[in-house]
Amino acid sequence: QKEVEQNSGPLSVPEGAIASLNCTYSDRGSQSFFWYRQYSGKSPELIMFIYSNGDKEDGRFTAQLNKASQYVSLLIRDSQPSDSATYLCAVRNSGYSTLTFGKGTMLLVSP
């Protein structure tokens, strides 16, 4: 059974701080990694994807990937109250088009 692990949180940060969300995965052959944001009562929304080791930046978001350590993270700079949501890490299963999702980390950004 392929596994994706995330701290369930909640992770509480003050407005303007950096939020760091982490994810580990078991499928060593995985090549594609995705971060989704899910507001309460809404559907998951893609915010970042990363395929190569290292950092990928998109606005206030930076995804970091370390395949050797089987670790992927998401940094949110200048956190805003509107960033308060559950963040889902998803890993593409090697050889398939399917994803395995972590259970998500709840982020709370206080004004």
Partner 1 sequence: NAGVTQTPKFQVLKTGQSMTLQCAQDMNHNSMYWYRQDPGMGLRLIYYSASEGTTDKGEVPNGYNVSRLNKREFSLRLESAAPSQTSVYFCASSDSGRGNQPQHFGDGTRLSIL
Residues that bind partner 1 (CB under 8 A): 31-32, 34, 42-46, 49, 51, 88, 90, 92, 96-99, 101-104
Residue with Cβ nearer partner 1 (15 or 45)? 45
Report in angstroms how near the CB of residue 84 gets to partner 1 at its nearest. Answer: 18
Structure tokens at 71: 């670790």
HSE of 58, CA atoms in CB hemisphere, 13 A: 10
Q: Cα(38)–Cα(48) distance, rounded to whole angstroms?
A: 13
Beta carbon of residue 16, minimum distance to partner 1 (angstroms, whole number) = 29
C-alpha–C-alpha distance, residues 79 and 19, integer Å: 7
d(Cα 51, Cα 82) in Å, to the nearest integer? 27
Which H or E run includes 100? strand 99-101
- Nearer residue to partner 1 within complex by CB, 79 or 87: 87
- Min dist CB 67 to partner 1, Å, is 14
Cβ proximity to partner 1: between 71 and 101 the closer is 101
Choice between 25 and 34, CB closer to partner 1: 34
What stretch of H or E contains 66? strand 61-66
Closest separation in Å from C-beta 90 to partner 1: 8
